[in-house]
């Protein structure tokens, strides 16, 4: 055994070898428009906060010249805005970032550390799947990782970034996490690649169309955010994490509450909201408007961090703050399909509601829904079963829930979106709200079918009679006051007062007692 000086010199030589390889491979990554594994970590975390673990892990023995230190992955912990997180980042420059035994064990170790300490886990994926040379051992590592993903689910936030290829079994680990982020044009995720697809099905499809970030953001719904570049994707994760707690036993960070003018809440003039919200709803019940404006007129700074922005655009989900505290937003979007609920929208909202419930984030719902989208495609594709997921998500939620009905709340759409009947705590409505089985036009055609037919037979003015019947239905049923009289609506408020009422409700519900867990486990309709 040598002296301490010899040991230190040996350590320096090993570190220099690792650093030299990192420099060599950086050029290859940069030529493809991608950062290195270490550069991604450095950009994600607070400067100088990263601590690597298992840096000298390597496959084989000292005599194995093919085995590199780290085995193609960097693991460790650091800070984001002063909060500790655990992270791993795959290195595509070493054996394509493929997962071998040592590589897998490093990831498992950091996952277990995250669960043990109650810290968020961020995985930066950039690999070609299981390492073929290591056979079943690499497959076993994926199975172990999947198990840890499930164990950590709902306990700590899990966020996956796809920064290159994520192929085969590797794609199932991100799918098990809470949020998935991809980069436009430079990241791809799929179970089987284009060559296999063509061999088996005859389809000729490229990497981007098959599993590119835009495909998963708009068609499959597998991705929650599409970054313009790697820096944008990493920046989104930092902001996203600010809305989430470290684990399910604590709350998300609380920030100083300022409005979008930069003034403290106590100094804000009422006209700021009045101008924005009181004129938002169009006079025509069929004219669309942008629900983003309603959200921005209620939340702190007018800032809304949208999730799955490009998928199922008829419903909006994402995070914001009210009085400095994180809230999850679910809102119909009248600009797309008139805000109708369909299969994709129901599943998108249900998943988000369950995520908020898992991590103690209150849910604020804005409702303008004419109902579920009709048609054979929806019915045959399982709208009943898949729409039931949204009902289940709201009904099982125990976090504070506040709902605001801005315009339409028809039929089953009224029930499933944060209604009092599914357990919402405070339900508010604007004077423009229409809470009914259906709209006046449809209801008149059904309820007064015979009367209208008789008027037509007698040569009367059918349209004049229809218009009068529709007005009667509108005045009697399509108002928020019937529901308010029954206690289903807690208050009918002017739009300009929405923030005040929402903030007050969330403040009152902050220490809401959560019922003890039920002895049995529910069976969500998957």
The larger pLDDT score, comparing residue 54 to residue 31, is at: 54
CATH of the domain at 150: 3.90.226.10
Same domain, 40 and 187: yes
Q: What average pLDDT does the segment 490-497 reach?
A: 95
The larger pLDDT score, comparing residue 297 to residue 514, is at: 297
Same domain, 229 and 115: yes
| pLDDT grade for 65, boundaries at 50, 70 and 90 | very low
Identify whether 323 is part of a domain.
yes
pLDDT over 90 (residue 22): no
Q: Residue 465's pLDDT is what? A: 67
Q: Residue 9's pLDDT is what? A: 62
10 Cβ partners below 8 Å, 6+ apart?
Answer: 2
If you average pLDDT over every residue of the chain, what do you get?
A: 87
Same domain, 77 and 192: yes
Cα-flanking dihedrals φ and ψ of residue 16, to 5°?
Answer: -65, -35
Identify whether 453 is part of a domain.
yes
Q: Residue 419's pLDDT is what? A: 96
Identify whether 297 is part of a domain.
yes
Per DSSP, 397 falls in state -
| 8 Å CB contact between 330 and 316 | yes
Per-residue pLDDT reduced to its tens digit, 81-95: 999 999 999 988 778
Same domain, 381 and 456: no
Q: How many CA atoms lie within 13 A of 177 on its CB side?
A: 24
Q: Residue 226's pLDDT is what? A: 97
Per-residue pLDDT reduced to its tens digit, 306-331: 999 999 999 999 999 999 999 999 99
Tokens of 62: 């000292």
Cα–Cα distance for residue pair 240/224, rounded to 1 Å: 11
Tokens of 500: 């005040």
Domain tally, the chain = 3
pLDDT over 70 (residue 261): no
pLDDT over 90 (residue 442): no
pLDDT over 90 (residue 80): yes
Same domain, 171 and 100: yes
pLDDT over 70 (residue 270): no
Tokens of 224: 């929650």
pLDDT over 80 (residue 468): no
pLDDT over 60 (residue 60): yes
Cα–Cα distance for residue pair 184/233, rounded to 1 Å: 9
DSSP secondary structure of 471-483? HHHHHHTSSHHHH
Percent of the chain with pLDDT over 70: 87
Q: Residue 11's pLDDT is what? A: 62
Query: pTM above 0.75?
Result: yes
Q: How far is CA 43 from CA 39, 47, 160, 473, in A?
A: 6, 8, 15, 59
Same domain, 452 and 350: no
Q: What average pLDDT does the segment 170-194 reach?
A: 92
| 8 Å CB contact between 400 and 368 | no
- Greatest alpha-carbon pair distance for the chain in Å reads 112
Same domain, 332 and 454: no
DSSP secondary structure of 141-158? HHHHHHHHHHHHTTTS-E
Same domain, 493 and 432: yes
Same domain, 426 and 362: yes
Identify whether 13 is part of a domain.
no
| 8 Å CB contact between 193 and 207 | yes
Same domain, 408 and 444: no
Identify whether 518 is part of a domain.
no
Cα–Cα distance for residue pair 458/467, rounded to 1 Å: 18
Q: How far is CA 44 from CA 86, 87, 178, in A?
A: 11, 10, 18
Cα–Cα distance for residue pair 380/10, rounded to 1 Å: 67
Per DSSP, 187 falls in state -
Same domain, 421 and 285: yes
Same domain, 370 and 469: no
| pLDDT grade for 77, boundaries at 50, 70 and 90 | very high
Domain residues for 187? 34-242
Alpha helices in 153-220 (DSSP H): 172-175, 194-201, 207-211, 213-215
Q: Among 68, 52, 51, 65, which residue's Cα sits nearest to residue 17?
A: 68
Identify whether 11 is part of a domain.
no
* Alpha carbon 443 to chain centroid, angstroms: 36
pLDDT over 80 (residue 512): no
Per-residue pLDDT reduced to its tens digit, 405-428: 999 999 899 999 999 999 999 999
Alpha helices in 301-430 (DSSP H): 343-358, 376-380, 383-396, 411-416
- Three-class DSSP labels, 83-136: EEEEEEEECCCCHHHCECHHHHHHHHHHHHHHHHHCCCEEEEEEECCECHHHCH
Identify whether 19 is part of a domain.
no
Q: What average pLDDT does the segment 218-245 reach?
A: 96
Q: Residue 27's pLDDT is what? A: 72
pLDDT over 80 (residue 471): no
pLDDT over 80 (residue 151): yes
| pLDDT grade for 271, boundaries at 50, 70 and 90 | low
Q: Residue 492's pLDDT is what? A: 97
Per-residue pLDDT reduced to its tens digit, 226-238: 999 999 999 999 9
């Amino acid at each position: 055994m040598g002296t301490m000086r010899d040991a230190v010199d040996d350590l320096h030589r090993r570190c220099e070898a690792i650093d030299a390889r990192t420099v060599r491979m950086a050029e290859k990554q940069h030529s493809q428009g991608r950062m290195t594994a270490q550069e991604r970590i450095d950009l994600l975390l607070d400067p100088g906060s990263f601590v690597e673990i298992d840096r000298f892990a390597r496959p084989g023995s000292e005599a194995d010249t093919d085995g590199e230190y780290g085995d193609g992955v960097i693991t460790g912990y650091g800070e984001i805005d002063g909060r500790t997180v655990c992270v791993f980042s795959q290195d595509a420059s070493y054996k394509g970032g493929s997962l071998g035994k040592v590589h897998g064990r490093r990831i498992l170790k950091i996952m277990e550390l995250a669960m043990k300490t109650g810290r968020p886990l961020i995985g930066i994926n950039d690999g070609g799947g299981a390492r073929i040379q290591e056979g079943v051992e690499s497959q076993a590592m994926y199975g172990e990782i999947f198990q840890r993903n499930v164990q950590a689910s709902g306990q700590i936030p899990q966020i996956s970034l796809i920064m290159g290829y994520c192929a085969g079994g590797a794609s199932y680990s991100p799918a098990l996490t809470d949020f998935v982020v991809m980069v436009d044009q430079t990241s791809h995720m799929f179970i089987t690649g284009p060559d296999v697809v063509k061999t088996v099905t005859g389809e000729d499809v490229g990497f981007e169309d098959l599993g590119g970030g835009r495909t998963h953001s708009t068609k499959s719904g597998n991705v929650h955010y599409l970054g313009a570049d790697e820096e944008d994707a990493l920046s989104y994760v930092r902001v996203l994490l600010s809305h989430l707690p470290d684990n399910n036993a604590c709350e998300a960070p609380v920030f100083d509450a300022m409005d979008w003018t930069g003034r403290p809440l106590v100094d804000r003039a009422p006209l700021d909201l009045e101008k924005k919200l009181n004129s938002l709803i169009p006079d025509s019940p069929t004219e669309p408007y942008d629900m983003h404006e309603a959200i921005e007129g209620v939340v702190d700074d007018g800032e809304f961090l949208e999730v799955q922005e490009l998928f199922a655009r008829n419903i909006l989900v994402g995070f914001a703050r009210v009085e400095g505290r994180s809230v999850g937003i679910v809102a119909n979007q009248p600009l797309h399909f008139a805000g109708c609920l369909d299969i994709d929208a129901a599943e998108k909202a249900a998943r988000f509601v369950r995520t908020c419930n898992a991590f103690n984030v209150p849910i604020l719902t804005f409702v303008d829904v004419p109902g579920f989208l009709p048609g054979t495609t929806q019915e045959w594709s399982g709208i009943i079963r898949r729409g039931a997921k949204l009902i289940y998500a709201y009904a099982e939620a125990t976090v504070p829930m506040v709902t605001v009905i801005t315009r339409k709340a028809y039929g089953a759409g009224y029930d499933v979106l944060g209604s009092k009947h599914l357990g919402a705590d405070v339900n508010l409505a604007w004077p423009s709200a229409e809470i009914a089985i259906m709209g006046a036009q449809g209801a008149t055609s059904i309820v007064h079918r015979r009367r209208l037919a008789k008027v037509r037979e007698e040569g009367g003015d059918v349209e004049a009679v229809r218009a009068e019947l529709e007005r009667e239905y509108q005045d009697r049923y399509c108002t928020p006051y019937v529901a308010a009289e029954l206690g289903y609506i807690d208050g009918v408020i002017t739009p300009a007062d929405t923030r005040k009422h929402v903030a007050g409700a969330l403040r009152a519900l902050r220490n809401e007692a959560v019922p003890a867990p039920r002895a049995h486990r529910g069976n969500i309709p998957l």
